[in-house]
Amino acid sequence: MDVHCTTCGEPWDTYHLWHDAIWDTGLSEAEIRAWEKLPQSGKLAPKWRQQFEAACYVFGRTVINVIRCPACPKDAQPDRAKVQINAEIENLLAGDEDGLAATYEDHGL
Ligand SMILES: [Zn+2]
């Protein structure tokens, strides 16, 4: 399933975001293996969010709500309306990331 960056519209495969994007960070393999074992709710704790941001990823509450990505032009701004819609859907489907991915894909978000 694909979701789209809120800022530049780049499509991102949800599998990539769940499993591979972490490897774009500067974390060591041991740290990444530890990250993989975390519950969904712990995967964007500030420590990890910082690492993702250094790799140009900015997420909402989950890694499949992509607010900024490595494909974003430097000065591009996120689409405010889409940020809000994505966040509301994310709140409604909290804890159901598969449902969230399907909903984003169905709506081209
Ligand atoms: Zn982007």
* d(CA 68, ligand 1 centre) in Å: 5
Alpha-helical (H) ranges within 60-96 are: 80-92
Q: Tell whether the model's pLDDT for residue 95 goes beyond 90.
A: no
Measured CA to CA, the distance from residue 91 to residue 100 in angstroms comes to 10
**pTM value?**
0.93
Measured CA to CA, the distance from residue 19 to residue 31 in angstroms comes to 14
Amino acid at residue number 40: Q
* Residues within 5 Å of ion ligand 1, judged at the Cβ atom: 5, 7-8, 10, 69, 71-72
The DSSP code for 14 is H
| 8 Cβ contact list (under 8 Å, min separation 6) | 69, 71, 72, 73, 76
* pLDDT band at 94; cut points 50, 70, 90: confident
How many domains does the chain divide into?
1
CA dihedral 6, 11, 15, 21 (to 10 degrees): -70
Worst-scoring range by mean pLDDT, 16-20, 49-53, 91-95?
Answer: 91-95
* d(CA 17, ligand 1 centre) in Å: 13
Average pLDDT, the chain: 95
Q: Which domain holds residue 63?
A: 2-106
R_g of the chain, CA atoms, integer Å? 13
* d(CA 4, ligand 1 centre) in Å: 8
* d(CA 9, ligand 1 centre) in Å: 6
Q: Which residue matches tokens 């399933």? A: 1
* d(CA 11, ligand 1 centre) in Å: 8
